[in-house]
Structure 1
């Protein structure tokens, strides 16, 4: 936009000089440099403070699906990238050994309860010892816990979707054997219940940004379109400012002014849900400062939206 304004001035100056409307004296010869300085420090730099612009990215939470029990996969009813609801079955594990374990513990539990009842009756008739009653009660309690754990394992042979979303890059097949190892996920589940849109803003331009301010965004996924929204929050930490507990002294590193991330929410909820994770674009935030610069920023953003038809980068 700055280049367009400057070139427009040069063309206008050429026309005025060519038709003799102004004399091409020292002032008019120096005027392009003067206009360039005024344009830079009177419009472009203040526009970065009052209406900062940055790259936008659509992010969704991903869950690595790791089964709680090991076994052979007997069924994989899901289809990759098909919408799922929370609780839908992702895959099933052969329940036979877990069902047998439940049956065996349940039989012991029933026998222990019967013995506890017998010992209690004998104790109430002064024909038994209180210690025997306590011992049988302890056995019943232990078997009750084991039965609950075994039933939990049996229930976990059916792996369900943790939330609304979809499975991507599905490679799990019937007959495969899975294990409950944290470093061995069997599928990736993309959570669509929450869509995160982050905008990177240079640190020198982020001073006036606050929640609730107006936002406009355009995406490569939807060229030529402008979508309004609002600022949700400014993330209060980025990786360079994070420290971790260690047994070593501070390791100095090159300090760079990495961009801050601003989380925004679009007004069009349906469009937000349709945005694929990883969609890239550009967003502008309109603060309460230097409002005259907002007009230029809106024009620039609409130019970028139109260029999205042909610019793949």
Structure 2
């Protein structure tokens, strides 16, 4: 900057010396145009220096995180209470909206009864296993008796002391009892399978009802929406009597978070040549004419949508954007040094100037941004 001022001063001195002091040449329109043309090019030193050493953006805007409040309910449910006021600060965990919880309370109670019945059924299944085992013992005893009778009738028949029909009848009875033993053992296996049907040591029917009960309890708990963070709701349109749920899609309100707000400013890519994280920034907010707020560069978003192509069956078309559309810009995330972050509200705009390590043109940028801030008292002219 000093070199530029020196060159401009020498040029102005030479013009004064040649044309006005010693009048070596006669000042004419032609010489005036040549001098003006050469002087205007000398001024480019300051324009280029300010652009690269202290880049500024007039498209800076305050960004705050917002959370879309979406009711997570299994059926359309009526809003019964609105527990928050518009633009009123709320704390994390504070209830905001309540829905009619009666259908969910009824479902929880119904599943609690079914779960209790299922737990009793487990004991019944255990008893069925014991009964089936006793049936096996009974069938084995009857089979043993049938084999004994078959032996007696066989001995009597072989000695001619008994009819052959009794022997055949006893043999048929043995086969019946053998089948009964097999049937009893199958019943034991079935009862044990039903009793031992478990997942992680819990009966499957009990586990299924327990999961359904937990899901019903989840929906019951969600009949009250709580503040996810410290913040506020700006556009409160929810009223008691409104129905929300699976029929009414989307959020019912936007929750503006207090924490982690920042200023997002767009810069042309070439202006960020010397910009680094941590460098000082001065911000002139339109909300506060005549005031300058110190800040810092938090991060540089080196991404741009023009470099993204979405998967498609259509070949890309390389169409030039209109001249009025900003092209080749990157966003810079800036955080304020002011401890009172509440004064920087979501959507507030302004101008942000970054001061790089090269401070030669910092004074010119400071004058420029302060002039812009003071002009906010008059502009825009809406009188």
Structure 1 residue 75, shift from structure 2 partner: 0.2
Structure 1 residue 134, shift from structure 2 partner: 2.7
Structure 2 residues without counterparts, runs of 5 or longer: 135-187
**Structure-2 separation of matches of 1:131 and 1:49:** 79
Is the aligned partner of 1:109 residue 2:171? no
- State the match for 1:71 in structure 2: 77
**Structure-2 separation of matches of 1:24 and 1:180:** 89
> How much is the aligned-residue C-alpha RMSD, in angstroms?
2.7
Confirm or deny: 8 A CA contact 1:66 1:182 kept in the other structure: no
**Match of 2:126, SS?**
helix
Confirm or deny: 8 A CA contact 1:66 1:181 kept in the other structure: no
Is the aligned partner of 1:54 residue 2:57? yes
Match of 2:126 among 100, 105, 120: 120
**Structure-1 separation of matches of 2:264 and 2:119:** 59
- State the match for 1:273 in structure 2: 342
Confirm or deny: 8 A CA contact 1:215 1:285 kept in the other structure: yes
Match of 2:371 among 300, 303, 306: 303
- State the match for 2:362 in structure 1: 294
**Match of 1:222, SS?**
coil
Q: Which shifted more, 163-172 or 216-225? A: 163-172
Confirm or deny: 8 A CA contact 2:262 2:336 kept in the other structure: no
Structure 1 residue 182, shift from structure 2 partner: 7.8
Match of 1:133 among 195, 201, 205: 195
TM-score, normalized by length of structure 1? 0.86
**Structure-2 separation of matches of 1:309 and 1:151:** 57
**Structure-2 separation of matches of 1:180 and 1:61:** 26
Structure 1 residue 103, shift from structure 2 partner: 0.1
Deviations 1:128-175 (A, max 9, x none): 631231358111011000000000010010011222211122111111
Confirm or deny: 8 A CA contact 1:66 1:180 kept in the other structure: no
Compared CA separation, residues 192 and 282, structure 1 to 2 (3 A) = same
**Structure-2 separation of matches of 1:24 and 1:107:** 112
Q: Which shifted more, 151-160 or 135-144? A: 135-144
Is the aligned partner of 1:215 residue 2:277? no
Deviations 1:18-68 (A, max 9, x none): xx656484588444333221111x111121011100021111222222201
Question: More helix by proportion, 1 or 2?
Answer: 2
Match of 1:163 among 219, 229, 243: 229
Is the aligned partner of 1:44 residue 2:65? no
Q: Which shifted more, 174-183 or 94-103? A: 174-183
TM-score, normalized by length of structure 2? 0.71
Confirm or deny: 8 A CA contact 2:265 2:352 kept in the other structure: yes
After TM superposition, list the pairs within 5 Å mapping 1:228-267 onto structure 2.
228-255=294-321, 257-267=327-337
**Match of 1:287, SS?**
coil
Compared CA separation, residues 167 and 181, structure 1 to 2 (3 A) = farther
Structure 1 residue 124, shift from structure 2 partner: 7.0
**Match of 2:292, SS?**
strand
**Structure-1 separation of matches of 2:63 and 2:120:** 57
After TM superposition, list the pairs within 5 Å mapping 1:122-201 onto structure 2.
123=129, 129-135=191-197, 137-180=203-246, 183-201=249-267
Compared CA separation, residues 181 and 238, structure 1 to 2 (3 A) = farther
**Match of 1:193, SS?**
coil
Q: Which shifted more, 129-138 or 196-205? A: 129-138
Is the aligned partner of 1:32 residue 2:100? no
Between structure 1 and structure 2, the one with the greater Rg is 2
Structure 1 residues without counterparts, runs of 5 or longer: none
Compared CA separation, residues 182 and 206, structure 1 to 2 (3 A) = farther
- State the match for 2:93 in structure 1: 87
- Size of the aligned set, in residue pairs, is 298
- State the match for 2:159 in structure 1: none
Structure 1 residue 122, shift from structure 2 partner: 5.9
Confirm or deny: 8 A CA contact 1:220 1:312 kept in the other structure: no
**Structure-2 separation of matches of 1:111 and 1:26:** 114
